Amino acid sequence: MNVSVTWYGHSNFQISCDGVFVLIDPFFTHNPSAPVTWNAAAKPDLVLVTHDHGDHVGDAVDICKATGALCGCVVGTGERLVKAGLPESCLPAGMGFNIGGSIEVQGIRVTMTQAFHSSESGVPTGFVVTMPGGFTVYHAGDTGLFSSMELIGSLYPLDLALLPVGGFFTMDGLQAAHAARLLRPKAVIPMHWGTFPVIASDPSSFEEHLASVAPGVRCVSMKPGDTVTF
């Protein structure tokens, strides 16, 4: 069963399989690297928000209101999104869920993981997303490197990891390469680079370090708007 991954720039990804769609960190409006507006993307069954920063919450409220998609986010951020206009019915149990917890939607299973960053509400998170058919993706969110990534990779054998590489706000290329070494995915797509001047670097440093510290992991570098199929 094929899985398609589309990158809309920054940390904004669409993952689709067997007619179901997941949208993660749907930052379209005000995203200088987004090639389309949110209403040009496929209608999602599930929207995931890693943390409460504007470049990650993005258009989540408008998308969920327009489509009825469930919004998966941490408790606390869920409350903040409701105040911003998100219907409570769009949140798991009307409030969101929490680190270590899982939700299932249309055959998609999502487990929330920790991340080391900041957030205006709740706490920063990542997600392990298992699509129908078993293809498993780890979206790290915004984070620094942490040793428990090895445990994530052990608990959830990963087909793909989406890792920030831009530095300044998150891991840089060297740290992200070591994250890949700990996680042991089959492939990595670098993200959170090139959007703003402070993270203007391209993923070439990550690619070089990855080849050195985790040579068995394939790097799939993308441009905003690209789709790859696994």
Query: Which CATH number does the domain housing residue 52 bear?
Result: 3.60.15.10
Total number of domains in the chain: 1
Instruction: With respect to residue 11, please indicate whether it lies within any of the assigned structural domains.
Output: yes
Instruction: With respect to residue 229, please indicate whether it lies within any of the assigned structural domains.
Output: no
Instruction: With respect to residue 230, please indicate whether it lies within any of the assigned structural domains.
Output: no
Instruction: With respect to residue 26, please indicate whether it lies within any of the assigned structural domains.
Output: yes
The pLDDT tens digits of the residues spanning 36-89 come to 999 999 999 999 999 999 999 999 999 999 999 999 999 999 999 999 999 999
Q: Is the pTM of this model over 0.95?
A: yes
Instruction: With respect to residue 79, please indicate whether it lies within any of the assigned structural domains.
Output: yes
Instruction: With respect to residue 45, please indicate whether it lies within any of the assigned structural domains.
Output: yes
Our CA dihedral for 161, 165, 167, 170, rounded to 10 degrees, sits at -10
Domain that holds residue 142: 4-223
What is the rounded distance in angstroms from the CA atom of residue 163 to the CA atom of residue 137? 11
The pLDDT tens digits of the residues spanning 123-176 come to 999 999 999 999 999 999 999 999 999 999 999 999 999 999 999 999 999 999
